[in-house]
Structure formats: C-alpha cells, structure tokens
Amino acid sequence: MALLKKINNNAKTDVNSGFGTNASSYGGRFVNKNGTPNIERRGMHLLHRISWYHTMIEMPNWKFMLILFSFYVVINFIFAIVYYAIGIQHLDGIAASGNFLTQFGQAYFFSAQTFTTVGYGHISPTGFLTSALSAAEALIGLLSFAIATGLFFGRFSKPTAFLKFSHNALISPYGGHKALMIRLVPFKNTNLTDANAKITLGMSIEENGKMINKFYNLELELDKINALSLSWTLVHPITENSPLYNYTEEDFRKNHGEILVFITTFDNMFSNTVAARTSYTFDEIIYGAKFQTMYNRSKDGSRTILHLDKLNQYETT
C-alpha cells in the first residue's frame, strides 16, 4: 500500500489489529472480499500446512460433490484393474468368453457393489486373493462412506454467518457532515441477535523514515444492535476525530487504504456465535452517494418486505 496522506493526528489507532506493522513485507490487500486473509503460506510441506477437514468443509458445493464422485469412480477403477489382473476366472458369474471391455466392465461394477456393500450376488469372488481383495475393499468402502457422511454433516451443520455485504462502501452526506456507510443484510431465514460491528482503517504511512502499517478505529454511530432482522447500515461519521476528516474524492482516488469490517452475532438456530468479515479498498468506495431503502411495508400493511436484490443499489447525491 502506498503512503496515505492527510492523516488526522487525533484519530485513535488500533494496536490490536492482528496484522503486521512492516509495510514493505505486505502485498495487496489485508483481507479478501470474501473475508479470508490475503495470505499465502509457504515453507512447510503441503500436507502439514493444510487442514483437509477445513478444506473439504469450506469448499464450494460443486467442487465437494465433484471430488466425492471422482474418488468413487477412480477407486472402483483401480480395484477393477486389480480384479482383472488376478484373473476374471476368480470372479464367478463373469463369462470367460466375453471380450475385454465386457469383462472389465463387469469387474468394475462388481467392485462398485463391493465398495458400497450392496452385493447383488450376480458375481462372487472365488479363491483366496480375490476374496481377500473384496473383503479389504468392503472395509475401505465402509470407512470412506463414514468419512463422507461426517463431511456432509459437518458442511450442513457448520455455524455460518449468512450475511451479505454491499459491493461498495459509500461516502454519503450525513447530519451536516459526511459519513462512511457500509450495508449488510441477513439473507437466510435465520434469527440473529446481539450483533456487534467493528470497522478498522488500514494504511501504510511513513514514520521516522520507514514505511509502517497503521490501523485506526473508525467509531460507529451504532456498533451494536439487539436484533439483526433487516438491513444494517454501518455509519462512521467523518468528524474532526476521524482519520478520514478533510478527505476529498480526489484523495480517495489517489491514495491507497483499506476498510476492514468485522461482524459477530449470535445465531439462535445454531445456538452459537457466528462471525463474518470483509474489506473495501479505496477504489471500492463511492464518493457522494447514498444507499436506497431496501425494505417497505406490504400492501396490506401486515408485514415488512425486505428486498435482498436492493442491497447494492445506491443513488448519487
């Protein structure tokens, strides 16, 4: 990050940010838009620096299902090769007069039946090697399905903050001044209570001839709410005590900084505290705009309609 100018000396610094202070050692943003740290770990073997459980739990659904399907296809293909190498004559029920593809296909489907412990009985192993191999495959199949079931349950039951943040942060007119505004909304049928928010401004500044990372607390007009049912707009009034005081649109365009957003809330369904975070670089801040209202009263006046598709809608002022 480049030097950020016009810093307000009255701004309150955050010494507990958890990020390093050596600006020359940092590259890119501190936090990705999806809330993950912008960190690439090296210096240790891949198997030691990656938790496969966390990887399988966090990956997208399509990739998770693709891995399970690929594992199922490949492992049965491997066992089919071994069955065929031992000899088709040791699989009772497979015609010895068939061609290679037919015999291999039947060996493959026998493997699939053994792996899933279905066992239709059309084909059965004969001889010690084939019987031992089928017994080992059945055990591997049971263990594999137990692991897959655990992963399915972990993905289904993992406490998750079902919150979406606006694509952009806004600098909006507010009470005779300006304010930094960020909007978020719960998008699932969850019950969220005791929501807390914290916003930190990260930047690189020159101090004693050396570039260092500094972080500033951005005080919010409201940093805690009892229930998070509708949209919540986080508002940081840009007053004399704000590090963004006297910042113009040109300053945001020319300089580099990052707004870090941290949310914690209690989910009644999970009966657990969940967290979400994101960040906005200065080029993701829209100057001179305000969010449009994203909820209204229903026609019969009995309910409030929350329009999730209006999360990112704003108008210029």
| Sequence spans of domains, the chain | 23-40+161-316, 52-157
Higher pLDDT, 307 or 11: 307
Average the pLDDT over 283-287 and give the result. Answer: 94
pTM: 0.80
Task: Give the span between the Cα atoms of 12 and 6, in whole angstroms.
Answer: 15
Q: What is the CATH number of domain 52-157?
A: 1.10.287.70
Q: Are 212 and 23 in contact (CB under 8 A)?
A: yes
DSSP β-ladder status, 210-218 and 304-306: unpaired
Average the pLDDT over 170-174 and give the result. Answer: 94
For the stretch 222-259, pLDDT in tens is 999 999 999 999 999 999 889 999 888 888 888 888 99
Higher pLDDT, 47 or 293: 293
Residue type, 241: N
Measured from the Cβ of residue 58, the count of other Cβ atoms closer than 10 Å reads 12
Mean pLDDT of the chain: 89
The secondary structure of residue 7, as a DSSP letter, is -
Give the rounded distance of the alpha carbon of 149 from its chain centre.
21
Average the pLDDT over 178-205 and give the result. Answer: 93
* Level-2 CATH architecture, domain 23-40+161-316: Sandwich (2.60)
- Give backbone dihedrals phi and psi of 221, rounded to 5 degrees, phi first: -60, -35
First to last CA, the chain: 30
Task: Give the span between the Cα atoms of 89 and 127, in whole angstroms.
Answer: 10
The secondary structure of residue 167, as a DSSP letter, is S
Nearest to 31 by CA among 305, 304, 262: 262
Angle between helices 128-157 and 61-86 (to 10 degrees): 180
- pLDDT at 36 > cutoff 90: no
